[in-house]
Amino acid sequence: MANKKAAVQDVVTPWEVVATSASGIDYEKLLKGEHYADCEKINEELIERIEDITGKPAHHFLKRGIVISHSMMHHILDLYQEGKPFYLYTGRGPSSKSLHVGHLVPFQFTKWLQDTFDVPLVIQLTDDEKYLWKDIPTPEAAINLSRKNAKDIIAFGFDEKKTFIFSNFEYMCPPFYKNICRIEKLVTNEEVMNKFGISKRDSIGKTSFPAIQAAPSFSSSFPGIFRDSEDMACLIPCALDQHIFFEVTKETSRFMKVKEPALIHTTFLPALGGAIKKMSASDASTAIFLNDGEHEIEEKIHKIQDVKVQGNDTVSSEMGPVYGKSLEADIPYQLAKFFVEDETEWNGIKQAYEEENLSSMELKNKLILILKKTIREIQEKRENVTDDIVTKYMSPRLLTYK
């Protein structure tokens, strides 16, 4: 049944993202779906407001539609203007030793939010989730992955004084657990099974997990970490597939009489094998990892199939130029859109490529240089992240912020 459904419509769940078309997920359609009812697309007006009140240029992900939608962002901006605090909450499921460039997207954007708004940030490492879902033999092995991933995350440059990274296994404490139980009491098995596609034969760990991802949306899970932990507003930057956790969170917050979290969503970085899938650690040959060597990066980019000769139902099979939709299926072009930061440089590449003054080979070569540079910078920073530094970020302590 599930497979049949996958063939006719895009599948977007926290554990699976598969599109029906080579152009990738149809975001317009997705956002009109029932789970995104209280979300809006980001428009020019919102971007201008952000620039106006922060006095800083918007991140290129916002300008290029890579950060695509939100819920209650205007409310967060109101608070900012009134000088009232809010915090950021994001996370990562540590399923592999190293992050890949797809993970850069929400984390780079989160860093930009932290720097721009000068706010505290909590990062949840769901080692319990990965222990429950994946073939990880012990909680200790999952904790080990958490600490390795924390190094990568720290290398993105999050401010130590304002950032608390926590492993669920290690941080679980009475205030956090009380919130988890409050949420668990409000959500039925039926709701979780339907919304998250969990079956009767799955472990009970899976049905209760959504409460654990929901609880950090409530600041009372962090006493001694936030000055204003009573009921501080929360903004969650996350990829669109995670939204469903927070749809449930929003519902429970209304019953718990605590603040409903706001959200801001990123789209998916396509896999090197085609935009039908998002980049994923479980398919190593179609992902670029932050610990890949320069040679591997080159090889992987050169192997990407050229859309113009690939020919399938969404891309014209004629040899002539195939613009419009096909650019969405063009992986090097898509990767450049994510990773060429400078606006003028990106506009130049875009125009030259569309007008065929830049060949696919030339674009790939540019992309290789950009990816090598981005990854080298992170690798260099990561080398300086010692175990002691990881311990600091992961120790519960009072965060300082404006």
Nearer to ligand TRP, 105 or 340 (CB): 105
Which tokens go with 376?
Answer: 């080298």
Question: What is the secondary structure of 261-280 as a DSSP string?
Answer: PEEEEE-PPEETTEEEEE--
Q: Is 146 in the site for ligand TRP (CB under 6 A)?
A: no
Give the single-character DSSP code of 292: -
Nearer to ligand TRP, 129 or 330 (CB): 129
Cα-only R_g, the chain? 21
Span from 41-49, 121-129, 291-299, 338-346 in contact with ligand TRP (CB under 6 A): 121-129
Nearer to ligand TRP, 169 or 314 (CB): 169
What is the smallest separation between the CB atom of 361 and ligand TRP, expressed in angstroms? 34
Give the whole-angstrom CA distance, residue 273 versus residue 102: 14
Task: Spell out the residues 6+ positions from residue 229 whose beta carbon is closer than 8 angstroms to its own.
Answer: 219, 220, 222, 223
Q: Is 93 in the site for ligand TRP (CB under 6 A)?
A: yes
Across-strand partners of 125? Answer: 92, 167
Nearer to ligand TRP, 125 or 358 (CB): 125
Terminal alpha carbon distance of the chain: 52
**Window 178-217: contact mask with ligand TRP (x via CB under 6 A):** -----------------------------------x----
Residue of the chain from 127, 128, 129, 328 that contacts ligand TRP (CB under 6 A): 129
H/E run at residue 180: helix 174-186
Span from 5-13, 235-243, 321-329, 338-346 in contact with ligand TRP (CB under 6 A): 235-243
Which tokens go with 298?
Answer: 């080159």
Give the single-character DSSP code of 330: -
Q: Is 102 in the site for ligand TRP (CB under 6 A)?
A: no
Q: Is 90 in the site for ligand TRP (CB under 6 A)?
A: yes
Identity of the residue numbered 350 = K
Count of all residues that appear for the chain in the document: 402
Q: Is 92 in the site for ligand TRP (CB under 6 A)?
A: yes
Nearer to ligand TRP, 225 or 297 (CB): 225
Nearer to ligand TRP, 280 or 360 (CB): 280
Span from 84-92, 149-157, 225-233, 343-351 in contact with ligand TRP (CB under 6 A): 84-92
User: How many H helices and E strands in the chain?
Assistant: 20, 11
H/E run at residue 309: helix 307-310
Q: Is 96 in the site for ligand TRP (CB under 6 A)?
A: no
Q: Is 124 in the site for ligand TRP (CB under 6 A)?
A: yes
Span from 16-24, 30-38, 234-242, 303-311 in contact with ligand TRP (CB under 6 A): 234-242
Question: Which of 273, 272, 248 is closest to 261 using CA atoms?
Answer: 248
What is the smallest separation between the CB atom of 118 and ligand TRP, expressed in angstroms? 20
Residue of the chain from 91, 210, 270, 332 that contacts ligand TRP (CB under 6 A): 91
H/E run at residue 254: helix 243-256
C-beta of residue 290 within 8 angstroms of C-beta of residue 152: yes
What is the smallest separation between the CB atom of 294 and ligand TRP, expressed in angstroms? 27
Q: Is 260 in the site for ligand TRP (CB under 6 A)?
A: no
Q: How many CB atoms lie within 10 A of CB 10?
A: 18
Give the whole-angstrom CA distance, residue 149 versus residue 155: 10
Task: Spell out the residues 6+ positions from residue 351 whose beta carbon is closer than 8 angstroms to its own.
Answer: none
3-state helix, strand, coil in the chain (%, to 5): 55, 15, 30
What is the smallest separation between the CB atom of 101 and ligand TRP, expressed in angstroms? 15
Give the whole-angstrom CA distance, residue 180 versus residue 218: 10
Residue of the chain from 108, 179, 207, 242 that contacts ligand TRP (CB under 6 A): 242
What is the smallest separation between the CB atom of 133 and ligand TRP, expressed in angstroms? 9
Residue of the chain from 77, 211, 225, 238 that contacts ligand TRP (CB under 6 A): 238
**Window 9-38: contact mask with ligand TRP (x via CB under 6 A):** -----x------------------------
Residue of the chain from 69, 71, 114, 126 that contacts ligand TRP (CB under 6 A): 126
Q: What is the contact surface with ligand TRP in residues (CB under 6 A)?
A: 14, 89-93, 124, 126, 129, 213, 236, 238, 242
